[in-house]
Amino acid sequence: MSCDYIALANQGVQGLSPYQAGKPIEELQRELGLKHIVKLASNENPLGPSPNVLAAVDKAAAEIARYPDSNGFELKAALANKLGVAAEQITLGNGSNDVLELITRAYIEPGKSAVYSQHAFIVYPLAIQACSGRSIVTKAKDWGHDLNAMADAIADDTQLLFIANPNNPTGTVVDEASLVNFLDKVPANVVVVLDEAYFEYVEASDDDSVDGVALLKHYPNLIVTRTFSKAYGLAALRVGYAIASPEITDVLNRVRAPFNVNSMALAAAQAVLADDEYLQQGRQVNAEGMKQLTQGFDTLGLTYIPSAGNFIAVEFATDTAELYQKLLKEGVIVRPVGIYEMPNHLRVSIGLEAENTALLDALKKVL
């Protein structure tokens, strides 16, 4: 005897589609038998891991028969020290994706809603749907978040609101004055998530730039999320974190799975957090790559959305499905963003100089 196991799943889960990740290099190698492949599809750090990380992982590997520290004491202490917050304000996650899900699971249930923007990071709708919550999507303004529209969209049943800053896949940012004005308008019973996955790439010289952690003191309903996957180069190890009030942190720890961050990841995160040189080098490579790619797009007559992250959304005249396939045949993996209501864009991560050149050459050839 069998039954419809999809219909048997929770209501919200039935409406989900699995997350589509950037195509792995090995998959394209299997499919096309190409030797040299450039992957600019998942906003990874093109430098590879910090040497300090490899040493820390090696050392931690000797202890993998033991469970990790479920509370991540040492990493939290290091983060608290660096950020000027209390360890009781930090929740560690298996990537910040995990933290975003913990937040949603803690605050969304059937009959509740969450607000996010058109073109915003896809994990928000997935997490809301998994909890059978209602999504309220506001129209974007110049590809970015329209904070006034978001404040106006808050309904009686709204518990949560997501802002990605910089946003993925558009690379847009909100300025500090607009964000503060917005936070002043949001009722205290609506939890605001400020997703700062690309925080480390934002030019600190930019006076208008937002540091969510500095705003926590004034807004007890604010949660800031950050990650070690992007600028810190630990995407495969899965470490992210939330910074919030001790009360919200207590809530998140109630839904957090025990041992959600493994011991090698904890050790690696601690090692790279202390490696300022690695971070600075990555920022410089990113700034140079941004210049190289945008100049290359200019030369090709392509428009793009100005980005504060380590990626750029480039616009084409038509739907990019075919172009994406043509680039794959040239050994270049980028990211189609049709699922973000951006069918004519491709999101391109900024790579090393030679990788960026490979992308520009491939584009020139196939266009």
Ligand X SMILES: *Cc1c(COP(=O)(O)O)cnc(C)c1O
Contact region for ligand X (CB under 6 A) — 75-83, 94-102, 111-119, 272-280? 94-102
Which residue lies nearer to ligand X by CB, 93 or 331?
A: 93
Which residue lies nearer to ligand X by CB, 107 or 201?
A: 201
- Helices marked H in the chain — which ranges? 11-14, 25-32, 51-61, 73-83, 95-107, 123-130, 147-153, 176-185, 212-215, 246-255, 263-273, 276-299, 321-329, 353-366
Phi, psi of 245 (to 5 degrees): -65, 160
Which residue lies nearer to ligand X by CB, 195 or 355?
A: 195
- Contact between 118 and ligand X (CB under 6 A)? no
Spatial neighbors of 367 by CB under 8 A, at least 6 apart, are: 300, 323
Q: Do residues 315 and 325 touch, judged by C-beta distance below 8 A?
A: no
- Contact between 97 and ligand X (CB under 6 A)? yes
The pairing of strands 134-138 and 222-227 is unpaired
Q: In this chain, which of 12, 46, 68, 95 binds ligand X, going by CB under 6 A?
A: 95
Closest distance between ligand X and the C-beta of residue 318, in Å? 26
Which residue lies nearer to ligand X by CB, 229 or 320?
A: 229
Contact region for ligand X (CB under 6 A) — 29-37, 93-101, 267-275, 337-345? 93-101
Contact region for ligand X (CB under 6 A) — 73-81, 89-97, 151-159, 286-294? 89-97
Q: In this chain, which of 96, 170, 172, 349 binds ligand X, going by CB under 6 A?
A: 96
Q: In this chain, which of 68, 240, 296, 336 binds ligand X, going by CB under 6 A?
A: 240
Q: Do residues 125 and 147 touch, judged by C-beta distance below 8 A?
A: no
Q: Tell me the per-residue interface mask from 192 to 231 with ligand X, x by CB under 6 A, - otherwise.
A: ---x-x-----------------------------x-x--
Phi, psi of 42 (to 5 degrees): -130, 20
- Site residues for ligand X, 157-176, by CB under 6 A, read 164, 168
Tell me which residue of 175, 82, 157, 65 sits closest to 113, measured CA to CA. Answer: 157
Tell me which residue of 114, 98, 96 sits closest to 162, measured CA to CA. Answer: 114
Under rule CB under 6 A, how many of the chain's residues touch ligand X?
13
- Contact between 121 and ligand X (CB under 6 A)? yes
Long-range contacts: 51-56, Cβ < 8 Å, 24+? 52/271, 52/272, 52/274, 52/275, 52/278, 53/233, 53/234, 53/268, 53/271, 53/272, 53/275, 55/271, 56/264, 56/267, 56/268, 56/270, 56/271
- The distance of Cα 266 from the centroid of its chain, to the nearest Å, equals 19
Closest distance between ligand X and the C-beta of residue 62, in Å? 26
H or E element in which residue 317 lies: none
- The distance of Cα 300 from the centroid of its chain, to the nearest Å, equals 29
Closest distance between ligand X and the C-beta of residue 329, in Å? 27
Which residue lies nearer to ligand X by CB, 262 or 357?
A: 262
- Contact between 144 and ligand X (CB under 6 A)? no
- Contact between 245 and ligand X (CB under 6 A)? no
Closest distance between ligand X and the C-beta of residue 11, in Å? 26
Residues that bind ligand X in the complex, under the rule CB under 6 A: 43, 95-97, 121, 164, 168, 195, 197, 227, 229, 235, 240
